[in-house]
Structure 1
């Protein structure tokens, strides 16, 4: 079912370009499984935060060390390339980030022309960090992180991935895709990533878009199913504007919890739109968040499997 997996992650040490952590990249059987099923394997390169990105992007030596280190790790697992996931890039380092993308793409492709370079795009590029016109020749595909429109930072409750722009929830997935299309991202090179997790808040009201008292957590799909839907039998609700599912838990007369997440119903609407818009594909964060519940795999099969579509045509 999977065209590719992106292993998270080579966490960059910004001062040196070496890694703080590569987790089980060298040993995980996940990569062997992926290859056995003809799935491509990418190593995510992550660097988060304004300070870390400023340090790294102002350090050519660290950048070259990173590229050498990455090329060794790709060769070690016979991988297919990298996913660049740099978040919190300051506006004043935009040009240096652009140059880094060109550098790492050129150097890795000089080592192996088959290596693919992917770039993770923010849901909303508020600081206009991505110079698509300049970097596009060096990027094989883009992965839109189509989530966290609402989260721990939110003052009101709302969907992790609102679908269309609305007065209530603001801009959503369609606006993000249109924004990157306007910047020059070709849909043939775009994968839209969607969340297999939710966002939960404490509120004083059961109404959608209520003021947040406190953020609680980002539970995985399997946790939501197990803890709330299967065990507590809390009724599932659906917001048609954002095409998102949610539940409201009443703790007492004045305290509530609101939890927004994606499920078969909400994902089905978004998948159909992705297909109709001729976007190249869909991704999700992250593998295993639905472990034990096959319905999300079944939906992917129904919507995207060539085998299923071929059988459907025959019938």
Structure 2
């Protein structure tokens, strides 16, 4: 089925083609600047989350070899909000609550507990590494014509890889591509992949294309039974974990036959412990597929979110448009169609292309265009990126190159790391199970592509964690404040003692004060004890002595002071009177 459509960006650009030839150099400069800005924006967005978490943070390192207790405690400065009474009077709050104690359950996964003082959130820093978050699936396809490229994929950033493909012979049900399966079995491809990452599931793609072939196969129970028997044998020999089934161009009258076949195949696979992923087109032509019924028999629906514009289209446009003009299909419409059927997003994988399509648009002014070729991502970059700057279409959230010279005008629509990042974020916003990429070898190990997967679906090195208990220090905090400031407090005591001595000496000049303080022996004892105690505390805190030496030195100094003062008083009592 062909869809006529394009984006507003393409129409505008094509209409302006005659005016652009003279300003080609200026356009390249402008687009080059735009491209650099977009790269900086992307880099900034990628790092913003990490910067926010790390800004103003403190850390507690947990040593698994020594910290064997079930509960890990961390005493640290209390959290002060950015506003409010505690913020306004934080000096009082921190004086009484110098420390706040947090308790964490030690589940042996704790490594570095980090505190974000901006948001008052704790994180367990599990360390930077490539790994897909368990709530997502990332599936890639390895076409047989990519040969041994599978050896160089980053399996830490894949959860499934499907080997493409077992192509069904509609007459017999046997494999029309036996060399591919034979090679996979003989080379122990599944074993190699699991050596790289034992958590990756290895699937076998099952394909059947063309309405005539599908009609013939779906009408033959014998061919179906032969296929299932051969498939189960291959699953064992090749150590596969499941299959993904891709039937394209099913006749409308054979929709029920297909649904019956999937149910039968699913039952046989489930008995062997295998999974089944059903690849479905982005439109359900005349409701051929009964998705609401099939959801009970498939592990995931994989929506093939590409070929919206391509070899069988009449007009150039995005291969995988996020949105489109009125009444045109897009990723948005096809996913919503599934969700509107009551199929949970966690049951859906959306596949995106790692290839692009080039069109001849020299006759666009008279409404004519021609499909030229489909190119893998790496070939698009190596062919066009050195001479042209990519243009971004905000409607489809896709990129395109516009190649315009005296002899021809061409446009190449494709996805790059930036447009894929946008669509990854959209997939997560729709709560889908994950993403698929057709096909892995088409990127030739592009670091940008892998980094995009890691950024969007990888495990964050900072995992949010919650303390099981939190308590303020209370009186302990006051005592701790005294301990931390004992030198200043000791100096304060000594200064106070000095003022007492000066004040006492000055008071002796007045006979009434002198008689009031010393006429009774008890006053002398009280005064002497106060002087001695203050001396002990002052010397201990200021000189940071041990309690024993502080008492000894304090008693000597205090006693000496008391004796001298009493001698001074007795010697001058009559004279002062």
- Structures share a fold, TM > 0.5? yes
Query: CA offset at residue 33 of structure 1?
Result: 3.3
Matched, 1:26 2:185: yes
TM-score by length of 1: 0.92
* Structure 1 counterpart SS, 2:349: strand
**What corresponds to 1:311 in structure 2?**
462
Aligned pair partner of 1:293 in 446, 459, 474: 446
Point out the more displaced range, 141-150 or 125-134. Answer: 125-134
**What corresponds to 1:189 in structure 2?**
347
The within-5 A match list for 1:24-173 is 24-28=183-187, 30-36=189-195, 37=197, 38-110=199-271, 112=272, 114-167=273-326, 170-173=328-331
Distance (whole Å) between structure 2 residues aligned to residue 215 and residue 251 of structure 1? 18
Aligned pair partner of 2:422 in 269, 275, 295: 269
The within-5 A match list for 1:189-268 is 189-204=347-362, 211-230=367-386, 233-252=387-406, 255-268=408-421
TM-score by length of 2: 0.51
Structure with greater helix percent: 2
The structure with the larger Rg is 2
Distance (whole Å) between structure 1 residues aligned to residue 453 and residue 464 of structure 2? 17
C-alpha contact (below 8 Å) 1:238/1:245 kept by paired residues: yes
Distance (whole Å) between structure 2 residues aligned to residue 238 and residue 45 of structure 1? 35
Runs of 5+ unmatched residues, structure 2? 1-156, 466-577
Distance (whole Å) between structure 1 residues aligned to residue 188 and residue 392 of structure 2? 38
C-alpha contact (below 8 Å) 2:244/2:276 kept by paired residues: yes
CA deviation profile, 1:12-48 (whole Å, cap 9, x unmatched): 0000000101413323454233212121011111000
**What corresponds to 2:542 in structure 1?**
none
Query: CA offset at residue 279 of structure 1?
Result: 0.6
Distance (whole Å) between structure 2 residues aligned to residue 213 and residue 165 of structure 1? 19
C-alpha contact (below 8 Å) 1:145/1:192 kept by paired residues: yes
* Structure 1 counterpart SS, 2:443: coil
* Structure 2 counterpart SS, 1:20: coil
Runs of 5+ unmatched residues, structure 1? none
Distance (whole Å) between structure 1 residues aligned to residue 223 and residue 284 of structure 2? 26
* Structure 1 counterpart SS, 2:385: helix
C-alpha contact (below 8 Å) 1:101/1:138 kept by paired residues: yes
* Structure 2 counterpart SS, 1:26: helix
**Structure number with higher relative contact order (C-alpha < 8 Å, ≥ 6 residues apart):** 2
* Structure 2 counterpart SS, 1:278: coil
Instruction: Please report the RMSD computed on the Cα atoms of aligned residues, expressed in angstroms.
Output: 1.9
C-alpha contact (below 8 Å) 1:155/1:211 kept by paired residues: no
Indicate how the Cα distance of structure 1 residues 235 and 79 shifts in structure 2: closer, same or farther if over 3 A, else same: same
Distance (whole Å) between structure 2 residues aligned to residue 61 and residue 184 of structure 1? 35
Structure with greater strand percent: 1
Distance (whole Å) between structure 2 residues aligned to residue 128 and residue 91 of structure 1? 8
The count of corresponding residues between Structure 1 and Structure 2 is: 304
CA deviation profile, 1:227-282 (whole Å, cap 9, x unmatched): 1103xx211100001100000111425x3111000001111111001112111101
C-alpha contact (below 8 Å) 2:316/2:369 kept by paired residues: no
Distance (whole Å) between structure 2 residues aligned to residue 190 and residue 280 of structure 1? 6
Indicate how the Cα distance of structure 1 residues 5 and 226 shifts in structure 2: closer, same or farther if over 3 A, else same: same
